Structure 1
Amino acid sequence: MVYTEENIRELLDKILEPPLALFSLQVQNRKNHALIEITLDHLTHKTGSVSLTDCEEVSKRLKEELDLWGEEFDFTLQVSSGGAERALRLPEDLDRFQGLLAKLEVRLENGNWDKRVFRLGKRDGETIELIPFDRKVSKHKIIPPIQMPLAEIRKGNLFLEL
């Protein structure tokens, strides 16, 4: 038996119940062994973070299902949360996490790419409102938002302000 993303995904479709969802899945098959890495998403949590209890429960239920396939192959199962500083799926997560801070890789006016922290504003079609974030700036100082085309954002992740 070879573990594939497709057959693992089918099992997860049976196991996962809202608000839990699959964020990412990777299966690496080696001789008589598979590494199955699952990252979960919590659809109603502010940052999409999943609890340790949720990870343990999904891991337990998936292991039970995989054990039914027989003992021909050994597997290592890793179930985790995307975390509070999770990667963003662009552009849909820009809407989902509106109002939160995100570290985005954006194209600058000179054409170079740089990572900057912004508070996510409203998206209007192919443009999003971003408010530059600077820890050194007083909370009372208003920083004007910028409008950025989605094409000028290469990747990003949520950013926690500590």
Structure 2
Amino acid sequence: MTKKNVTENIAVAVKPIVEAENLELVDVEYVKEGGNWYLRIFIDKLGGVDLDDCQAVSEKIDTLLDELDPISQAYFLEVSSPGLERPLKTPEDFQRFKGHLVNITTFAPVDGAKSFTGTLMDYTEEGIQVEVKGKSVLVPHKQVASSRLAVEF
């Protein structure tokens, strides 16, 4: 089973657990770092998640994964907040964070650049509308490599 299939199958399996805790499933990662595999479940809610949220979800997901046994090798399970620079993946994410500062990177240049940091203005069928230094840029969906909230310091 590919890493993508693992993450997709696990996302489907754990989403009801996360939602039962009145939380949002933001992302699932399955990565190898050093000699170890990590299964990371990122959760969120309005106002942010705390350690109790992560622990409650982790215990329930751990039990479910023991039953399903979707991964053949040993791995570490981590349940956490997506952080201040949370990824934006779904149309609902983009609608929710309109007006926020975002960082979008692209596979190929759009208007001569591959990285855009600006205010998220809109999400349409054509792409993601971002205002960068007073200029409106439309980044086509097929060109988006990653999109995250950005933090200003």
* TM-score, with length taken from structure 1: 0.62
What stretches of structure 1 of length at least 5 have no aligned partner?
A: 134-142
Deviation at 1:14, TM superposition (A): 4.5
Q: Residues 118 and 104 (structure 1 numbering): CA distance in 2 closer, same or farther, change over 3 Å? A: same
Alignment CA distance shift 1:120-1:34 (3 Å) = closer
Give the secondary structure class of the aligned counterpart of 1:82: coil
1:108 correspondence with 2:97: no
The CA deviation at 1:131 is 1.8
Equivalent pairs counted in the alignment come to 137
Query: Where does residue 159 of structure 1 map in the other structure?
Result: 150
Correspondence 1:32-51 to 2 at 5 A: 35-42=38-45, 44-45=46-47, 49-51=48-50
Q: Report which of the two structures shows the higher radius of gyration computed on alpha carbons.
A: 1
Instruction: Provide closer, same or farther for how the CA distance between residues 114 and 82 of structure 1 changes in structure 2, counting only shifts above 3 A.
Output: same
Instruction: Give me the CA root mean square deviation.
Output: 3.6
Partner deviation per Cα, 1:51-74 (whole Å, 9 max, x = no partner)? 22211221123334556789xx96
Task: Quote the residue 1:123 is aligned against.
Answer: 123
- Please identify runs of 4+ aligned residues in structure 1 that moved more than 6 A: none
Change (3 A) 1:87 1:69: closer
* Contact residue 128 and residue 141 of structure 2 kept, 8 A: no
Give the Cα–Cα distance (whole angstroms) in 2 for the partners of residues 90 and 7 of structure 1. Answer: 17
Kindly provide the amino acid, as one letter, of the partner of residue 51 in structure 1: D
The corresponding residue for 2:132 is 132
> Percent identical across equivalent pairs?
24
Structure 2 unaligned regions, length at least 5: 1-5
Q: Which amino acid aligns with 2:40?
A: E
Deviation at 1:105, TM superposition (A): 1.7
Code of the residue aligned with 1:23 in structure 2: it is: V
- CA distance in structure 2 between the aligned counterparts of 1:24 and 1:88, rounded to whole angstroms: 9
Judged with a 3 Å threshold, the aligned counterparts in structure 2 of structure 1 residues 117 and 53 are, in CA distance, closer, same or farther, namely: same
Q: Structure 1, residues 122-155: CA drift from partner, whole Å, max 9, x if none?
A: 334414442215xxxxxxxxx3x41414247522
Q: Superposition pairs for residues 7-26 of structure 1, below 5 Å?
A: 9-10=12-13, 12-16=14-18, 17=20, 19-26=22-29
Structure with greater helix percent:
2
